[in-house]
């Protein structure tokens, strides 16, 4: 089996492509008897993932006689990772935490950094070993890192919407350590965000706060001091409407505590949702809006470890399919450092949700990240 077979889409592009094209030309639908299959207008791997997988295959071809490692799963897709194992690529850390770790790497080895990226400390350790580095960190992840770097350098605490044990979030959080006094706090969902908001308003208990969120914050985190100035970021695969809701809730909490006029000195937020993630979420919501049967026709198969973006897209589909409306419609977006304008509430306690924003609001971001992947050969 030649290397060219593995370069793009596992060599099945020519076989699958015409079939998909036929479905697209039929308004993204396929009818077989009395059963109709509907295809979302955005689907499949994003550009960053495609490029990461492609670079892993190219690395095997370029260094056929070297030991090649991946720092962890290149993406959360068991079939892709199994294919890489079959090619002889070893994993320094498996999904269950097992593996030889960075200590196994020698100067003559090749190490592939996955699309999620690695922590600052892990990158430095690999560079110190003088190995060949194949860095496939996604450009959208790099965009988040740049914002976290700015937050930390300005004395703001980076509040990250994500899973604190996820590879990408661990890498993002580690960026705060590059600045003296840098700190971070990871919130998983709206419930945890409300705990943070309550504390900002002076309604929380310090002991209870730290007992609940200690695993998700930087060492020595002091909620009494470190929630006074906050910068929002997110794991790129989180549900976009939830990230924006968390952003708005924290903004309102800071406004309640310190006043609207002081917000520019207290709050920073930029839109760091991955454009591909947003496109797929928008596409599945549009598809769900066309029929109440979407929940019944959506795939029920689920791999042992589903990618975060896939799980959230499935969740968006289920929510829309259940009610026929979009319960995840986000508040008004803003790229300004001070966040979105104050949302007006019908009840006085929560903001009224406007209609879902369209993709045009995001058109200023390039759909394909530049410089997302690069070769670094050290000591080869």
Residues belonging to the active site: 168
Torsion, Cα of 198, 203, 206, 209 (10° steps): -30
Instruction: Give the three-class secondary structure for 93.
Output: coil
CA atoms of 255 and 263, how far apart (whole Å): 6
Element (H, E) at 184: strand 184-187
The count of residues in the chain is 380
- Site of tokens 């199994």: 82
Q: How many CB atoms lie within 10 A of CB 58?
A: 16
Cβ pair 278, 142 in contact under 8 A:
no
Paired strand residues for 163: none
Transcribe 139-183 into DSSP letters. HHHHHHHHHHHHHHHTT-EEEEES-TTSHHHHHHHHGGGGSTT--
Half-sphere exposure of 149 (CA within 13 A, CB side): 9
Identify the helix (H) or strand (E) that includes residue 188. none
Residue 60's nearest CA partner among 81, 93, 89, 94 is: 89
Residue with tokens 């560079």, as numbered in its chain: 127
């Amino acid at each position: 089996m030649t290397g060219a077979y593995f370069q793009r889409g596992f060599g099945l592009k020519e076989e699958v492509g015409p079939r998909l094209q036929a479905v697209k030309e039929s308004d993204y639908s396929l009818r077989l008897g009395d059963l109709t299959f509907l295809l979302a207008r955005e689907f499949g791997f994003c550009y960053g993932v495609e490029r990461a997988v492609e670079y892993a295959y190219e690395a095997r071809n370029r260094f056929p006689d070297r030991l090649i490692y991946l720092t962890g799963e290149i993406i959360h897709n068991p079939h892709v990772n199994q294919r890489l194992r079959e090619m002889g690529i070893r994993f320094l850390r498996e999904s269950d935490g097992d593996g030889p770790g960075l200590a196994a790497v020698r100067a003559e080895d090749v190490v592939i950094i996955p699309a999620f990226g690695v922590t600052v400390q892990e990158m430095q350790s690999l560079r110190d070993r003088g190995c060949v580095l194949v860095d496939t960190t996604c450009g959208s992840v790099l965009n988040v890192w740049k914002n976290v770097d700015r937050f930390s350098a300005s004395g703001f605490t980076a509040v990250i919407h994500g899973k604190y044990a996820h590879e990408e979030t661990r890498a993002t959080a580690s960026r705060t350590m590059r600045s003296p006094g840098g700190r971070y706090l990871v919130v998983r969902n709206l419930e945890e965000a409300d705990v943070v908001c309550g504390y900002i308003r002076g309604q929380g208990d310090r002991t209870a706060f730290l007992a609940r969120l200690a695993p998700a914050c930087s060492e020595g985190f002091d909620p009494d001091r470190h929630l006074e100035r906050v910068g929002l970021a997110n794991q790129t695969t989180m549900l976009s409407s939830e990230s924006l809701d968390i952003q708005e809730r924290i903004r309102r909490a800071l406004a309640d505590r310190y006043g609207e006029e002081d917000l520019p000195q207290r709050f920073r937020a930029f839109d760091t949702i991955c454009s591909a993630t947003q496109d797929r979420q928008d596409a599945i919501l549009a598809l769900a809006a066309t029929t109440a049967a979407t929940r019944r026709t959506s795939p029920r198969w689920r791999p042992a470890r589903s990618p975060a973006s896939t799980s959230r897209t499935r969740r968006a589909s289920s929510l829309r399919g259940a009610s026929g409306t979009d319960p995840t419609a986000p508040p008004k977006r803003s790229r300004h450092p001070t966040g979105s304008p104050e949302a007006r509430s019908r009840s006085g306690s929560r903001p009224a949700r406007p209609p879902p924003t369209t993709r045009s609001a995001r058109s200023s971001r390039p759909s394909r990240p530049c410089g997302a992947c690069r070769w670094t050969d050290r000591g080869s």
